[in-house]
């Protein structure tokens, strides 16, 4: 049976519309806010949470691996002032997780492209040993540190595009040194570690908590 002109036009329009009907909707970019909390995932599968607490940001780098602990408090995006760490998924018996604290001299900066900071970092490490007296083992060290801010760029995570900056720090002291690299998001005020002593563990996702 011959197809009328009107029917043919209807079929053509239906064919053009069909791909739009089956094409998945584009996900909206959900805004993030440190006050409400920001969830993130790293390449090794570790899930984390960052949230503002007064004048610091509390970053829990591992929330999905049993007793594994890596909680840090940070000022100005990347300057860590404390860290509690236990790199084991099973609870440890006999002592507390090591607790680190750091103070900086001179005053720390807020990262911007091309900026650098150099100074002295005082480190205190405390471990409470479970015995009759709950002995506290306390050690102190000093580091000479240099922070460099460079490589401004746009990064896309979970469908959202962010302005980002690389910040790298090197620490040297008696008997050795170490290095850390972060990706810092100036519009958010958040820095997340992506490399430590040459071992990378970058971000693969980030969004509202």
66-195-29-209 Cα dihedral, nearest 10 degrees: 30
Residue 99 has pLDDT above 60, yes or no: yes
Tokens of 181: 């690299």
The more confident residue out of 98 and 27 is 98
pLDDT digit string, tens, across residues 59-74: 999 999 988 899 999 9
**Cα–Cα distance measured from residue 185 to residue 154, given in angstroms and rounded to the nearest whole number:** 10
Please give the model's pTM, rounded to 2 decimal places.
Answer: 0.82
Domain of 172 in residue numbering reads as 27-208
* CATH number for 144: 2.40.360
Instruction: Output DSSP code: residue 106.
Output: S
**Does residue 13 form part of some domain?**
no
**Does residue 123 form part of some domain?**
yes
Mean pLDDT of 161-184: 96
Q: Given this model, what pLDDT does residue 95 score?
A: 62
Closest to 42 in 3D by CA, of 195, 206, 203: 203
Distances (CA, A) of 23 to 15, 16, 27, 28, 83: 13, 12, 12, 15, 46
Mean pLDDT of 144-156: 97
**Does residue 120 form part of some domain?**
yes
**Does residue 14 form part of some domain?**
no
**Does residue 182 form part of some domain?**
yes
pLDDT band for 94, please (50, 70, 90 cuts).
low
Residue 28 has, within 13 A of its CA and on its CB side, a CA count of: 4
**Does residue 32 form part of some domain?**
yes
Q: Report the DSSP beta bridge partners of residue 181.
A: 168, 195
pLDDT band for 129, please (50, 70, 90 cuts).
confident
Q: Given this model, what pLDDT does residue 24 score?
A: 38
**Does residue 12 form part of some domain?**
no
The more confident residue out of 207 and 25 is 207
Mean pLDDT of 133-150: 90
* List of E strands, 30-129: 38-42, 47-53, 56-60, 69-75, 79-86, 99-105, 116-129
Residues of the chain with pLDDT > 90: what percent? 71
**Does residue 2 form part of some domain?**
no
* pLDDT, mean over the chain: 86
Q: Given this model, what pLDDT does residue 18 score?
A: 37
How many domains, the chain? 1
Residue 46 has pLDDT above 50, yes or no: yes
**CA geometry: angle 114, 116, 121, nearest 5 deg:** 160
Closest to 91 in 3D by CA, of 64, 61, 68: 68
Token look-up 């691996």 returns 65
Whether a cis peptide bond, with omega within 30° of 0, leads into 106 is: yes
């Amino acid at each position: 049976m011959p197809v009328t002109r009107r029917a043919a036009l209807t079929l053509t329009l239906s064919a053009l519309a069909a791909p739009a009907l089956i094409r998945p909707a584009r996900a909206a970019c959900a805004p993030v806010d440190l006050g409400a909390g920001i969830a993130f995932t790293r390449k090794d599968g570790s899930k984390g949470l960052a949230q503002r607490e007064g004048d610091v940001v509390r970053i829990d780098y591992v929330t999905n691996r049993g007793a594994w602990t890596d909680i840090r408090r940070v000022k100005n995006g990347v300057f860590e002032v404390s860290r509690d760490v236990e790199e084991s998924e099973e609870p440890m018996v006999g002592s507390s997780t090591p607790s680190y604290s750091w103070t900086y001299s001179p005053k720390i900066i807020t990262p911007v492209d091309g900026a650098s900071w150099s100074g002295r970092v005082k480190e205190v490490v405390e471990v409470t040993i479970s015995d009759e007296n709950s002995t506290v083992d306390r050690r102190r060290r000093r580091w000479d540190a240099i922070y460099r801010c460079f490589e401004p760029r746009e990064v896309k995570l979970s469908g959202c595009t962010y302005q980002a900056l690389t910040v790298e720090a090197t620490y040297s002291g008696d008997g050795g040194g170490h290095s850390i690299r972060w990706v810092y998001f100036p519009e958010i005020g958040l820095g997340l570690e992506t490399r430590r002593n040459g071992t990378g563990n970058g971000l693969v996702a980030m969004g509202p908590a």
